[in-house]
């Protein structure tokens, strides 16, 4: 079977800057405190390692190594704080790149399936409420499934979808998934007297009124922002800064992967 593969590099000024091998060399220097020991561990010549480090230094604009004089080993090399920042940045981007490539691998050798995955990956929706959440629990029967979602651990709500959709999307616990809620499916009120499945407590962040229409933003302590549209009448009497509740049905929470 044909599969997708990808080599991840960060470039600067059109030149290769950070790749897997270069990051590994920096890690070895950090562990051993020596360019010589690091190059030996990677089975490469000292000159090749030095040339690689020289090129990185020239492109970075900031030193990535500093010399250590004296000591038990007679001196050596130490990574700068900036070098550790670069390695951390590379690892984060590399992890995202792997996830991106893994999405492509779902297509196998089927170009049409790849096109579907690409369309889904770059899909843009008009929904004002889109949140990347973690799946914490799944309860299913033959017809429907309730997926419990956590946004930054503190804000918890649920989505109800068909069990067939759950299986088709291959949703599992601990998976990251997008929750999408239309603004006009959310009610924001000062009193929690509803029996809906999802009730989010927060503070009114802003209110925009235009005739009979009203847009309200409700923000929680962890940055979760619900936006409700067409809240008219009594709900538009809400005041910025006051405590309120965002209420919505679990069947109105769409899921995206």
SS3 109: coil
Q: Which of 179, 198, 212 is nearest to 246 (CA)?
A: 198
What pLDDT sits at residue 71?
Answer: 44
**Domains of the chain by range and CATH?**
10-104 (1.10.10.10), 125-180 (2.40.50.100), 181-250 (2.40.50.100)
Question: In the predicted model, what is the mean pLDDT of residues 231-240?
Answer: 66
**Which backbone phi and psi does 66 adopt, to 5 degrees?**
-135, 140
How does residue 49 score in pLDDT terms, banded at 50, 70 and 90?
A: very high
Q: Which of 105, 104, 139 is nearest to 118 (CA)?
A: 104
pTM above 0.85, yes or no: no
How does residue 254 score in pLDDT terms, banded at 50, 70 and 90?
A: very high
Following CA atoms 179, 183, 184, 188 in sequence, which dihedral angle do they give, to the nearest 10 degrees? Answer: 100
Q: Is 73's pLDDT higher than 50?
A: no
Q: Is 231's pLDDT higher than 70?
A: no
Give the separation between CA 43 and CA 24, rounded to whole angstroms.
Answer: 12
Question: In the predicted model, what is the mean pLDDT of residues 172-198?
Answer: 88
What pLDDT sits at residue 1?
Answer: 56
Outline where 33-80 has alpha helix (H).
35-41, 46-60
What pLDDT sits at residue 225?
Answer: 94
Instruction: Report the run of H or E that residue 85 belongs to, with start and end.
Output: helix 81-105
Q: Is 233's pLDDT higher than 70?
A: no
Inter-axis angle of helices 20-32 and 46-60, nearest 10: 110
| Long-range contact pairs involving 1-7 (C-beta distance under 8 Å, separation at least 24) | 1/108, 1/109, 2/108, 2/109, 3/105, 3/108, 4/101, 4/104, 4/105, 4/107, 5/101, 6/97, 6/100, 6/101
**Residues 101-137: pLDDT tens digits?**
877 776 677 777 777 667 666 666 778 899 989 999 9
The tokens 């690892």 sit on which residue? Answer: 91
């Amino acid at each position: 079977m044909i599969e997708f593969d990808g080599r991840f590099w960060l470039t600067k000024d059109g030149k290769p800057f950070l790749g897997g091998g270069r990051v590994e060399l920096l890690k070895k220097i950090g562990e051993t405190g020596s360019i010589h020991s690091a190059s030996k561990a990677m089975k490469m010549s000292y000159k090749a390692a030095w040339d690689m480090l020289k090129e990185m230094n020239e492109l970075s604009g900031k030193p990535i190594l500093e010399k250590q004089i004296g000591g038990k080993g007679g001196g050596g090399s130490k990574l700068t704080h900036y070098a550790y920042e670069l390695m951390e940045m590379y690892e984060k981007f590399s992890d995202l790149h792997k996830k991106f490539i893994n999405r492509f691998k779902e297509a196998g050798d089927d170009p049409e399936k790849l096109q579907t995955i690409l369309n889904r990956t770059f899909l843009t929706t008009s929904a004002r409420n889109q949140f990347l959440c973690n799946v914490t629990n799944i309860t299913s029967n033959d017809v429907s499934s309730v997926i419990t979602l956590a946004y930054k651990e503190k804000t918890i709500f649920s989505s109800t979808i068909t069990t067939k959709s759950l299986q088709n999307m291959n949703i599992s616990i601990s998976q990251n998934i997008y929750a999408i809620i239309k603004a006009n499916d959310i009610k924001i009120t000062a009193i929690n007297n509803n029996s809906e499945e999802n009730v989010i407590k927060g503070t009114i962040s802003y209110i925009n009124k235009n005739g009979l229409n009203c847009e309200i933003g409700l923000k929680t302590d962890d940055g979760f922002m619900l936006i409700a549209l067409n809240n008219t009448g009594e709900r538009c009497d809400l005041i910025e800064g006051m405590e309120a509740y965002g209420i919505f049905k679990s069947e109105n929470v769409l899921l995206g992967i």
